[in-house]
A = this chain, B = another copy of it.
Amino acid sequence: MLLYLLGMLGTAVFAMTGVLAIRRQGVDVFGALVLGVVTALGGGTVRDLILDVPIFWLLDFNYVWVAGGAALVTFFLARPLHRNRQLLLYLDGFGAALFGVLAAGKVLALGHGPAVAVMLGVWTSIGGGIARDVLASRTNLLMSPEIYATPILLGCSVFVLLHGVLAPVPLGIACVLLTFGLRTAAIYWHWHMPRHLSTHRKTHSGDDSAH
């Protein structure tokens, strides 16, 4: 139950940061609605297509209502929300951590191997934001010098490796906190990839990114 509510919170936060990220580029209310929903639900949709299981938001349409509602609210209340952008950035990091670990657990529960679980866990977490950036002609996180996906990759890997060794609930909580902690540190101290792991010539300050 708490997990369900946290999942809905993550969905709402993803939709909100999605709309904030594209709002300055010129978009109308319909475009904001679609892009917010894509940010929140896009990654999990592709994951379910690949796994050949029913799309999660077809089974429980509340995901779409929450994502759409959050996107609309954000479109109309963008100014006060923009002032709390830093808070949303951290909430987004929490949502990303949660989505990744939950998805990795779902994939393991379907009987797939650990590598598939890590791969689709990370994808669930980052896929929606990438799809939004492609639709909005923005630089997506794959081409950005910011540290966004690496903490998720680490958190999902630890979860999958210790799955079956430790009890799933405390392990999941620990991995979400690990991911969230690393992401928080990356936001706070403006961490970037070390130079030999990146071909970016200059590293920009990280404050332009929503996720």
List residues of chain A with CB under 8 Å of any chain B CB.
Answer: 22-31, 34-35, 45, 49-52, 54-55, 58, 61, 64-65, 112-113, 115-116, 119, 130, 134-137, 139-145, 149-150, 153, 193, 197-201
Contact = CB atoms under 8 A, between A and B. Distances in A.
B137 A143 contact: yes
A141 B28 CA distance: 10
A103 to B, nearest CB: 15
A201 B143 contact: no
A169 B190 CA distance: 56
Contact of A142 (B34, B45, B58): B34
A135 B130 contact: yes
Closest CB pairs A-B (n = 5): A31-B142, A28-B198, A26-B200, A28-B193, A29-B197
Nearest to A132: B142
A26 B61 contact: no
Given A58-B112, A115-B61, A26 B143 contact: yes
Contacts of A137: 137, 139, 143
27 contacts: A22-B143, A23-B199, A25-B143, A25-B199, A26-B143, A26-B145, A26-B198, A27-B198, A28-B145, A29-B198, A30-B142, A31-B143, A31-B144, A34-B142, A35-B142, A49-B49, A49-B50, A50-B55, A51-B58, A58-B112, A61-B115, A65-B115, A134-B134, A135-B140, A135-B142, A135-B143, A136-B143
A27 B140 contact: no
A28 B58 contact: no
Nearest to A119: B64
Contacts of A140: 135
